Structure 1
Amino acid sequence: MIAPAPMPKAPLPDTRSPFVTAPLPGGLVAAIRPLDPAAPWVAAWEALGARALVANPFYEASYALAAAPAFGAGVRMLLVADRPPEEPGARLLAAWPHRRVARRWGLPLPVLMGWTHGYAPLGIPLLDGEDPAAALAALLAAPQALGEPPRLLLQNAPADGPFRVLLDDAGVRQDAYWAHDRGLLDAAGLDPAARGAYLDHLSGNRRRRLRRARRRLDADGPVAFTMLADPAGFPAALNAHIALEAASWKGRAGTALAQRPEEAALLRAAVAALAERGRVRIARLHRGDTILASMVLPLAGRDAFVLKVAHDDTDPAVATGVQLVHRLTEAVLATSGIDRIDSCAPPDFELATLFWTERRAIAHRLIESGRDPLFPLAARLERGRERVARLRLRLRERRAKG
């Protein structure tokens, strides 16, 4: 599931040196580095992800490096560290995968654009949770020190919460685009009684429909819900997930993983990397060995993120995807292993909002980095770009409706 804003076309490769380093105030160092699994600072990158102010598993080292072969063309890392990142013992304070785009608005007005794609729907940089204000200040100062464009475009970043507060406190000019809310399950801090009452918002009619669908699904044999955590079972589970997706509408539309080998390889590599650290689950509905619905959930601490969903759609009346989310919600409310699940879904996507009452505010955010006399122009151009894109979406929807 991804946010609705159109993803940019990959820019031409940056032919400049991928290794640039510059000093920052306070004895810190800013650096541009390529996405390189052999880089000596990968372990420091992983450590930063574990203590980040706001969790973002898609920007952590193991996941980002797994995604690089499929989606990483032109992507660079903007790093802030206490010393050059290649030196032994270097500690990273900030990490942001991005592309340098020379003509975002049809003018020679370059921008550093955060890296997002269909498998990375959250674009918040990793900031050291021990001193996030200093980490953000250094990240914002880094482009000027490195001779990079003085404007950053963060795609699908949280529009509220601690990162937004930190950004507002920094006093930099900023503007937001494609603002929307997406479904969120947030059980953190709920006592047992509140957890038990969480689904009370469902109407009586909705409850009857869910019971009727569950009975219809169980008519051919009892259906179980499981949350797979054993890495030994992940390869077979992913095979089943990919096959299930290929047999659904995605296969008929030509968008299934089985028809996109690079993306299937990304999913396998990312899950394998996450599994090494116990950072992924696969939620499943199954009748014996037959998988009826499957959901891949990367984890960051006690937060989970919906990465991929597949379900059997041969009988729409049983709504296996809906039943999977329902039972997942019940399981999370009954246990203490996961506190939050970010649906990573477009706004008004019913499967994400039917059961989950909380919302996560998301927006693309243009941020001034250093002194930028052209920032007002860039902000106006980005606003115009959004208006044109929204108009095209409305026209496409009208044509689809006939």
Structure 2
Amino acid sequence: MNQAVRSEPGPVRQTRFSFGNPPRGSVAVVDTIEGIECCSEAIEDLAENAVHPNPFYEPWCFLPLLGASDRKRRLRLLLVHGTNDDGSGAHDTLIGFFPFEQKLLHPLCPVHCLCPWRDSYRWTLRRTPLLRSGAVANALATLGRWLVAERHAPKILVLDDLPGGSGIIDGVERWRAEDRRLCHVPDMHESHLYRRQTDAEAYFSRVLSGKRRRHLKRLRRLLEDLGPVRVADVDESEDIDRLLNEFIALESSQWKGKIGTSMASMPNGSEIAKAILKEAHRRKRLSLLTLRVGDRLVAARSAFLAHPGCFGFKMAYDEDPVYARCGPGFLLDQEGIVRLHDDGDLLGKDIEWLDSCAVEAAALPLSMRTEPLPLHRYVVAVRGGVSEIVSRRFHRVMQALPWRIRRMSAF
């Protein structure tokens, strides 16, 4: 069944597909910002009950970035409704949110795909779809049936940033085994995970050598020689506007500002960043650790709380040689680990791990992590024809090309 429905307000276009007899799942395709705004409440509920959290796809973070991105991009925001895997629950329950955009796999490859949406600023640091706990398999199976049945959609889609060891991977493997109409080409990259131990001392004993710990203590003494050192996290009594202005200015003063990737360097970047961070603070979802020497802010690190974990967002430190030689970024990260083990602290209450959201080669999280975080990618294509051939060979062809050409890939 293919039925177009319209919601108010705004020019909203949804297309709903139902599968099964009786149907256990349906897919609504939303291609406007106004359309997805109408679904915010349902997505909020899904995020609260997701098998793995992703604050970057929650409406309070997602919608401001979506509004600031290029309006010419072809949005394909998929809302999957259905029952739980065991058939319980209402058929109209939102069980999956897949924010896709339609684009070419590569400018040199005239084949379209659906790839996870990322904002123009590249602040969407994780593109893990939101999937309801207990309904992962049905959500993925319904997505696969939609991909096969929909005549006007690309026959290739990409699922990215699926964390290893999560219920999502179990669901994908079950999907691969059961739906023979699709081929799944897997790939993987790594990030860094800080997992809570019995206490902070056990954590540092696991990840740092004695020599490294002594070096950090020496850096702390060097910093204390410059003035009184104070570390704090944001709280309700904080002047949040002043703090965010300080944070954005500090980031803009370092190398990110020089190469044009800081929050303040982007068009309307400061306003969008402050709107997101203030909303996270209002929801008690923001950790903004600050390290000061006297009244001078020398390092700051922001993270979004998403129980049972949290996700790193932006970090900045003072590059003035007087302060930079003391390693303020490393010292602040060390303090964050201490607070991760304190149940009375914002970062420690009900938080079991921190996803750094950093690239694999990032020096700071690489030296402080407890374990690598495997992030899986699946290129899913309908079997037969060009889509299957391209999906199977695309990765190997890209690896043989120079980096400047590879970076134009859709993912």
CA shift for structure 1 position 232: 5.4
Q: Distance in 2 between matches of 1:122 and 1:186?
A: 18
Q: Which amino acid letter does the alignment assign opposite residue 134 of structure 1?
A: N
Q: Which amino acid letter does the alignment assign opposite residue 50 of structure 1?
A: E
Moved more, 136-145 or 301-310: 136-145
Unmatched segments (≥5 aa) in structure 1: 1-16, 84-88, 397-402
Q: Which amino acid letter does the alignment assign opposite residue 40 of structure 1?
A: C
1:55-112: CA deviation from partner (whole Å, max 9, x where unpaired):
11111122110111333642331111259xxxxx953111111111245463442211
CA shift for structure 1 position 327: 0.9
The answer as to whether partners of 1:283 and 1:294 remain within 8 angstroms in 2 is yes
Identity rate, percent: 25
Matched with 1:287 is: 293
Matched with 1:379 is: 391
SS of equivalent to 2:145: helix
1:36 aligns with 2:26: no
Q: Distance in 2 between matches of 1:317 and 1:394?
A: 37
Q: Which amino acid letter does the alignment assign opposite residue 171 of structure 2?
A: L
Q: Distance in 2 between matches of 1:301 and 1:159?
A: 18
Matched with 1:8 is: none
Matched with 1:79 is: 79
Counterparts of 1:69-218 in structure 2, within 5 Å, are 69-71=67-69, 73=71, 74=73, 75-82=75-82, 91-102=93-104, 104=106, 106-117=108-119, 118-147=122-151, 148-171=153-176, 173-177=183-187, 179-187=188-196, 190-192=197-199, 195-200=200-205, 201-218=207-224
1:227 aligns with 2:242: no
Q: Distance in 2 between matches of 1:103 and 1:355?
A: 35
Q: Distance in 1 between matches of 2:367 and 2:223?
A: 20
Q: Distance in 1 between matches of 2:311 and 2:277?
A: 13
SS of equivalent to 1:243: helix
The answer as to whether partners of 2:14 and 2:35 remain within 8 angstroms in 1 is no
1:115-149: CA deviation from partner (whole Å, max 9, x where unpaired):
13521121211111132211221122223344322
Moved more, 20-29 or 325-334: 20-29
CA shift for structure 1 position 288: 4.1
Aligned residues: 369
Matched with 1:240 is: 246
The answer as to whether partners of 1:182 and 1:362 remain within 8 angstroms in 2 is yes
Matched with 1:59 is: 57
Q: Distance in 2 between matches of 1:79 and 1:167?
A: 18
RMSD: 2.8
The answer as to whether partners of 1:313 and 1:319 remain within 8 angstroms in 2 is no
Higher RCO structure, 1 or 2 (CA under 8 Å, sep 6+): 1
Which structure has the highest strand share of the two?
2
Moved more, 339-348 or 25-34: 25-34
The answer as to whether partners of 2:82 and 2:138 remain within 8 angstroms in 1 is no
Q: Distance in 1 between matches of 2:403 and 2:194?
A: 32
Matched with 2:372 is: 359
The answer as to whether partners of 1:35 and 1:68 remain within 8 angstroms in 2 is yes
SS of equivalent to 1:99: strand
Cα distance change of structure 1 residues 38 and 377 upon mapping to structure 2, 3 Å threshold:
closer
Q: Which amino acid letter does the alignment assign opposite residue 360 of structure 1?
A: L
Unmatched segments (≥5 aa) in structure 2: 1-11, 84-90
Matched with 1:331 is: 339
SS of equivalent to 2:111: coil
Moved more, 267-276 or 54-63: 267-276
Q: Which amino acid letter does the alignment assign opposite residue 93 of structure 1?
A: I
Matched with 2:359 is: 346
SS of equivalent to 1:225: strand
* TM-score between the two structures when normalised by the length of structure 1: 0.83
CA shift for structure 1 position 242: 0.8
* TM-score between the two structures when normalised by the length of structure 2: 0.81
SS of equivalent to 1:53: coil
The answer as to whether partners of 1:59 and 1:96 remain within 8 angstroms in 2 is no
The answer as to whether partners of 1:21 and 1:146 remain within 8 angstroms in 2 is no
Moved more, 71-80 or 340-349: 71-80
Q: Distance in 2 between matches of 1:102 and 1:196?
A: 49
Q: Of residues 274, 277, 293 in structure 2, which corresponds to 1:271? A: 277
